Amino acid sequence: MVENAALVEHVEWPGSTEPPVPTRWARFGLDTLPVNRRRWLIAVVVIALLITLIGLLLVVGAWRDDKWIESRPGVQTAEVLSTAFDRTVVRFNTPDGAVHIPIDGVLYPQGLSAGQLVRVEYDSLHPDALVRVAGRTYTLTFLPVGMILAITWAIAAGLIWWLRRPTPTGPTPATR
């Protein structure tokens, strides 16, 4: 019971001279906000942090895929079979004569069109798993991820500002 005393907001009794006990939200300056606004504020921050984490994991995953390709490199000319929003499919032959069509498509396919011939780099141990357009690396993920994070935090900053605004102290027009 005593350990929870700091979590309970202090009630001012008439004639009381005790200073108010800070709540757990005072550290963040949120102790004066209504509970609903505080909950929405926490939700906005958590969602923005999750989107940031996903974006960072996307860049790290692209970097890891590039390192795997660079550890056992193979280079061939591939034909672009189809391009779509979610993937670009290519077909290429490896030195052993096998034809490979990676099911997940090619990494970094910007600017490719069906029927085009393009140099690809692939993981020679798993040529159907990791294939990228030659000369392109994970650094191409910085711009789209950076834009998503900038937009996310711009929206979050606006919502945070709006949720932290002071509440009106006087009567509202509906209650007059």
Yes or no: say if 50 and 57 are a contact pair by the CB < 8 Å rule: no
What's the start-to-end Cα distance of the chain, in Å? 42
Distance CA 91, CA 89 (A): 7
Worst-scoring range by mean pLDDT, 29-38, 55-64, 88-97?
Answer: 29-38
> What digits encode the pLDDT tens for the residues 145-156?
999 999 999 999
Q: State the SS3 of 24-59.
A: CCHHHCCCCCCHHHHHHHHHHHHHHHHHHHHHHHHH
Q: Contact at 8 Å (CB) between 141 and 60?
A: no
Give the residue, 10 or 61, on which the prediction is more confident.
61
Give the predicted TM-score (pTM) of the model: 0.73
Q: How many residues does the chain have?
A: 176
Percent of the chain surpassing pLDDT 70: 77
- According to the model, what pLDDT value does residue 35 have? 82
Write down the pLDDT at residue 132: 92
Q: Residue 58 has what pLDDT?
A: 96
For 163-176, what is each residue's pLDDT tens digit? 888 776 645 555 55
Place of tokens 């300056």: 29
Q: Hey, how many other C-beta atoms are within 10 angstroms of the C-beta on 87?
A: 15
| pLDDT per residue as tens digits for the range 86-101 | 889 999 999 988 999 9
Q: At what angle do helices 142-164 and 35-71 cross, to 10 degrees?
A: 170
With 0-12 / 13-18 / 19 or more C-beta atoms within 10 angstroms meaning exposed / middle / buried, residue 80 is: buried
